[in-house]
Amino acid sequence: MKIISGPASVELSENVSTLTGYQNVSVASKIFPDGETYVRLEGNISNNDNVAIIQTTCPPLQDSKLFQLAFIADVAKRMGANKVTAIVPYLAYARQDKLFLSGEGISVRTIAHMLKASGIDEFLTINIHSEHVLSEFPFPAKTLSAISLLASYFVEKGHKKAFALAPDKGAMYIAKEAQQVLGGDVGHLSKNRDRYTGQTSQSAEGLDVEGQTVIIFDDIISTGGTIVGAAKILKERGAKHVFTTCVHPLLIGDASKRILDAGVEEIVGTNSVPGAFSKVSLAPLISKHLKGAP
């Protein structure tokens, strides 16, 4: 197998190559003055090579990153690659995974079909927002979980037995996964969203966090509104320390500032979205998967 370094995930790709021992193929990329995307594989793909392209598609420029991925897959296939696996830690459009209002599309399904047309045979992502959508993808598709890596980060920082909190009921499976590593209590808030205005409201029934260290676990932090709201509730209920962690720290605009201003002591994410809060690397998780380890 060869690892192709997608321009959006160069460091992660190189670390996966180091951990697996698989040869790394770099990619030159640029954006033309008119905004169009250009890529060129700098290494050779031999006939019958299996290749894995590692390319996250987080903002900014998620559409360009998707096009880079498609162009690389097409080139790899034309150079003779046998099987092309796309490893996309953060999949853009993954939250547009069902019809909420008539006239909308299921954008993530459209993306998957576009990727299939570019030559991708197999797909791997990390903590996709809703796993059910993968069954509709036109190629074998799998999601891995980075939650135990995030929980381990907090154990190493001395927070064993911390309370694992899901900011809404849908994220409870994430909090329970974290609880397996942390060994403390688990619970969730409730969140409701107005589908027209996008406004959300949160509430907590019977949540006892008085004097506790609480870590809020989510798949994505985008505007930070969910975490700010959760932190306020936790502080009102007497939580001693509040941390937050997520797999995909999009942290749009001033999200990190607003979260820290709300009393959250630390924000921890993975390098699915490279940035100041990407403190946990996905390289070991992806490498283990590529090596076929259980």
Which of the residues are catalytic? 191
Q: How far is the CB of 250 from ligand R5P (least distance, A)?
A: 7
Q: How far is the CB of 71 from ligand R5P (least distance, A)?
A: 29
Return d(Cα 77, Cα 41) in angstroms, integer: 12
- Which residue, 120 or 144, has its beta carbon nearer to ligand R5P? 144
To ligand R5P, the closest distance from the beta carbon of 283 in angstroms equals 24
Token look-up 């096009």 returns 67
Comparison of 182 and 255: residue with beta carbon closer to ligand R5P: 255
**What is the total count of residues that contact ligand R5P (CB under 6 A)?**
13
Contacts of ligand R5P in 142-171 (CB under 6 A): 167-168, 170-171
257: amino acid identity, one letter:
K
We find the least distance from the C-beta atom of residue 281 to ligand R5P, in angstroms, to be 22
How far, in Å, CA of 170 to CA of 37, rounded?
37
Closer residue to ligand R5P in complex, CB, 66/220:
220
Q: Which x/- pattern over 211-250 shows residues binding ligand R5P (rule: CB under 6 A)?
A: -------xxxxxxxxx------------------------
- H/E element, 258: helix 255-261
User: Whose Cβ is closer to ligand R5P: residue 152's or residue 202's?
Assistant: 202
Regarding 7 and contact with ligand R5P (CB under 6 A), the answer is: no
Q: Using the minimum distance from each CB to ligand R5P, give the nearer residue, 167 or 187.
A: 167
Residue window 172-211: x/- pattern of binding to ligand R5P, with contact defined by CB under 6 A: ----------------------------------------
Q: Report the interface residues with ligand R5P, using CB under 6 A.
A: 167-168, 170-171, 218-226
